[in-house]
Structure 1
Amino acid sequence: MPKHHVLILGSGAAGVAAARALASREDIRVTLAVRTGETPYTRMLIKGVAFGPTPPEMIKLPLPDVEVLSDTAVEVDTSAKEVQLASGTRLSYDALIVATGSRPRMLPADVGGEDAVTDAGRVGSLHSLEDALRVRRLLTGLGRPARVAIYGGGVIAAETASSLHSDGHIVTLISRSEVPGVTAFGAPVAERLAADHSARVLARLGRTVRHIEVTDTGVAITLDNDSPVVADFLVLALGTTPAAPAPWTGGIDVDDRLRTDAPHVYAAGGVAVHHDDALGTWRIDHWEDAAAQGTHAAQVALHELGLESDPDVYLPRSPYMAMVYGQMISGVGYSGDAEAHLEDGEEFVVRHETEGTVVGVTGIDSVGTVYQWGQRLHGVRA
């Protein structure tokens, strides 16, 4: 007979990982609240839907054997230990894991013309399955190579530019940074990547979008230096912002065990904002790290319900990879504001250090070496 009820909000990597970590226990009841009308899917596979032959049903995310509600979480009352859902239903909990993820960052408010272009279906992100299907329809409906502008410089922007370029489309990459990806990968990797962008696509680095407008054939973009970019559509890859239910207005602050300031309430994945003495304030929004956070949050919840031992602190060690222009960019841990040091040797491997401690590693075509660092991070001094 279950003694406790653990409620999980969100069915992405963090939420499903948390549910999976708890599903086999007979001493707790687990409820997974999914966004109304949404079929859970593996977000890191949506590029195959957008640019490849992958059918949407192939990226469906298998759910563990727990109670699943298709009802969006609207507001959390941490005093009453209740969650209000979109249907009006209120659910009580003994432990709550908020894993509602993130939403794509849109154009700044001072960019003119966004509403008209959005209404015309000529601008959007590549964050959801719906986004991927829209991009696929646009690409296949033209009957010719598409002119695609991408605004951004991180992982999504790089992968999107690479995929479109390899498929024969005409790509313009607009990046606010002259070295796009420097925050995600560190300067050594990002500098190589910037050179690759410039050699393969129309790279407009160190530029911002000032105005966009609909044309008869697509969208006209004006940059901050008045130079024009003409495209069939514009892909926004400006990063993400946390998507938390009320009463939170953005990200949810967590400590080193993913606990919020409310008893028995935890946050994991793209919605969680971490505070660490060594790493400072950080947020990681990629699939593997979100899953690891979800599992850890479940373990902490069990510990604080008196059911398991303390899993200790959470530190980012998860791997990621991205194929860009035929090169495999990989990483583990956290780079952020850490100092980047290119290692000596034949492989292109970069250590990211904070106060002499290695907190992340990135590399190009060196997946094995990079991934070997995973469990050594945060404990190895350079």
Structure 2
Amino acid sequence: MSESVEHVLIVGAGLAGLRAAEELRRGGYTGELTLLGDENRAPYDRPPLSKQYVRGETDDTALRPAEFYDEQRITLRLGATATGVDTTARRVRLADGSDLGYDALVIATGLRPRRIPGLPEVSGVHVLRSHADAAGLRAHLGSARQAVIVGAGFIGCELAASFRSRGLAVTIVEPQPTPLYAALGAAVGALVTRLHESEGVEVRCGTGVESLVTEGDSVIGVRLADGTRIDADLVVIGIGSVPAADWLADSGIPLAAPADGGGVLTDETGRTTVPGVWAVGDVAAWPHAAGRNKRVEHWTNAGEQARILAAALLGGEPAGETQVPYVWSDQYDMKIQVLGLPGLADEIRIVEDRGRKFLAHYLRAGELVAVVGASMVGKVMKARAELAANLRPRADIS
């Protein structure tokens, strides 16, 4: 280490924060290690929330058993919200008026869900990000009959599949031309539309929600921008998330512009330009293969970044090869896998289409930069070596 680090404070007790703590211990760090989280719950896995948990198939989403934290000498500070940081004094301010000192600060605060401005706060309208959000949604699911999901990203599509498995009538409303349009493009989005329609979901694209229809303090429907009214006793707003970085506004820690996706700007190891401050996971804008800094909201990305960050913080080099970005989504009986960076592509080719199974190649200047497949596990993973050769990040935090 280039400086004495007796206390590492990780703000954010989600997957990225936990993985950073684990990697620091694995790398030989023996000093004080604090994991600070604003929820009153130890680190848990988010992907099951929209699937197994909301359907009532599991209650266990913990990433590690309770005894793990004592064994690894990780101090959990839960229910504690960071409100600011003094990077000169190296102290993080908390909502209760107290503060915590650090030698190295790792920012891992993740995301918060977007809301639609002007919509009233009424019963039956949900977002899904936290465990508490999922618990509220699961409780409502037992009495609901008609659901409208606003936003057809991965979470919205997964919830549509989960709701259909419970027998609800489901309508997806998406302003873009297809589901998953922003992530995967129109060609694959059309295949996802076909999948959901075959399961009885009504997919309404190219329009948004203008207002809620309410009765008393409960939602009974939504009115779309095209004038259509859809009855609903359950509405989920799933229009994406923004980095939880508001608490850093006056800190001097460099942040990307909202137009560029926001987040904490770092180098290729997660280090910011402020001494002793690092960032990892969904809130962190690391150098990207596109030649600029960009946040990557992938489950596997959090672990890969944590490995690199911990090695750099400890003054070494990360062991092993850099992983190709990977994300998956379970919808009905299908696993949709995304390997690589589809956003870099200038051409999309559907190379196989067998109904509920398909495979797409994403090319940039003729080179493969991503593969997307539905129930094509072997063919997707076979492309890993080629993608690793084609995707080499370039450091640029200007």
TM-score bracket for the superposition, by shorter chain length: 0.7 to 0.9
Q: Are positions 1:238 and 2:264 aligned together?
A: no
Correspondences of 1:155-170 after superposition (within 5 Å): 155-170=154-169
Q: Could you tell me which of 2, 7, 10 is aligned with 1:8? A: 10
CA-CA distance at 1:21 after TM superposition: 0.5
CA-CA distance at 1:360 after TM superposition: 2.5
**For the residues of structure 2 that align with 1:245 and 1:293, how far apart are their CA atoms?**
22
Pair 1:295–1:167, CA change in 2 (3 A): same
* SS of corresponding position for 1:263: coil
**For the residues of structure 1 that align with 2:6 and 2:14, how far apart are their CA atoms?**
23
- 1:84 maps to what in 2? 93
- 1:50 maps to what in 2? 54
**For the residues of structure 2 that align with 1:69 and 1:131, how far apart are their CA atoms?**
21
- 2:205 maps to what in 1? 205
Q: Are positions 1:319 and 2:345 aligned together?
A: no
CA-CA distance at 1:333 after TM superposition: 2.8
Pair 1:215–1:315, CA change in 2 (3 A): farther
> How many residue pairs get matched?
363
Pair 1:3–1:226, CA change in 2 (3 A): closer
- 1:40 maps to what in 2? 43
- Measured against aligned partners, the alpha-carbon deviations of 1:120-160 in whole angstroms (never above 9, x if no partner) come to 322111211111111111121x2xx6100000011011111
Q: State the one-letter code of the partner of 1:223.
A: L
- 1:121 maps to what in 2? 123
**For the residues of structure 2 that align with 1:281 and 1:187, how far apart are their CA atoms?**
25
- Measured against aligned partners, the alpha-carbon deviations of 1:36-74 in whole angstroms (never above 9, x if no partner) come to 53332111121322113312xx11221542122223222
- Measured against aligned partners, the alpha-carbon deviations of 1:336-363 in whole angstroms (never above 9, x if no partner) come to 2423432646873323334444333211
Structure 2 gap segments, 5+ residues each? 250-254, 256-261, 392-398
- 2:371 maps to what in 1? 361
Pair 1:152–1:60, CA change in 2 (3 A): same
CA-CA distance at 1:220 after TM superposition: 2.2
Pair 1:163–1:91, CA change in 2 (3 A): same
- 1:289 maps to what in 2? 301
Pair 1:26–1:233, CA change in 2 (3 A): closer
- When the two structures are superposed, what TM-score results if normalisation uses the length of structure 2? 0.82
- 2:394 maps to what in 1? none
**For the residues of structure 2 that align with 1:272 and 1:377, how far apart are their CA atoms?**
23
The worse-fitting range, judged by mean Cα deviation, of 31-40 and 16-25 is 31-40
CA-CA distance at 1:331 after TM superposition: 1.2
- When the two structures are superposed, what TM-score results if normalisation uses the length of structure 1? 0.86
The worse-fitting range, judged by mean Cα deviation, of 14-23 and 371-380 is 371-380
Q: Contact between 2:20 and 2:307, CA under 8 Å: does it hold in 1?
A: yes
CA-CA distance at 1:315 after TM superposition: 6.7
Pair 1:136–1:75, CA change in 2 (3 A): same
* SS of corresponding position for 2:247: coil
**For the residues of structure 1 that align with 2:365 and 2:279, how far apart are their CA atoms?**
27
Identity of aligned residues (%): 30
Q: Are positions 1:138 and 2:149 aligned together?
A: no
Q: Contact between 2:337 and 2:373, CA under 8 Å: does it hold in 1?
A: yes
CA-CA distance at 1:300 after TM superposition: 2.2
Please give the root-mean-square deviation of Cα atoms over the aligned residues, in Å.
Answer: 2.6
Structure 1 gap segments, 5+ residues each? none
Correspondences of 1:232-271 after superposition (within 5 Å): 232-244=233-245, 246-248=247-249, 251-271=263-283
